[in-house]
Amino acid sequence: MIPPIQDIMLAAPVIPVLVIEDAGHARPIAEALVSGGLRVLEVTLRTPAALEAIREMKQVPGAIVGAGTVTNADECEAALKAGSEFIVSPGLTENLARVVTSHGLPFLPGVSTASDIMRGLDLGLAHFKFFPAIPSGGLPALKALAGPFGQCRFCPTGGIRQDSAAEWLAEDFVLCVGGSWIVPAGPPDLAAIERAARKASELRA
């Protein structure tokens, strides 16, 4: 049974945002992340290897694997067929929201303005990815948005690093953050990935 989006967001303080160029690296990367305490993995649909990477990562015990950078219904359907357990989008459209929710999938759409959030609330959503977090005004901007939308909870993503994540996570309206720093580009150093994951998993300790 797929957990609701709030439970997924609370499973670990950081959701690694993954750009997988070689599907052969996917499972070892997932094993390193889960061993380090980060169970929720967002595989962005930015590469030809992404869907196969989702299939590979799904084989890792304890991993909760979702698709990121989902921008339309076709991508959502492809991610679902690959086994995605949740969907993350850089933005929010009514069409995509309806497709995702029609499948019963947890959905984390991107927002950066009050109008975005209001559109999401109209669609029955209350959990959002604040994106791009730093270019959109950083923590002061999200604090300002959280004021009139106290029922909403957020996963800030975009420009957040290990040394700044704790400041975001200290806010009640932030359930987790998205981070690309855990798995840098290039051939994976699995020991370094596990160390980075362990350090990130302790941010809410």
Q: Distance between CA 28 and CA 138 in Å, rounded?
A: 33
Could you say which of 31, 42, 56, 75 is catalytic?
42
Contact 157, 182 (CB under 8 A): no
Strands in the chain per DSSP E: 14-18, 40-44, 64-68, 87-88, 107-108, 110-111, 127-130, 153-156, 177-179
Q: Does the bond joining 132 to the residue before it have cis omega, within 30 degrees of 0?
A: yes
The position carrying tokens 């290039």 is 186
Q: Is 56 a catalytic residue?
A: no
58, 75, 85, 129: the active-site residue: 129
Judge whether 58 counts as a catalytic residue: no
Fill in the amino acid letter for 74.
D
Q: Cite the active site residues.
A: 42, 129
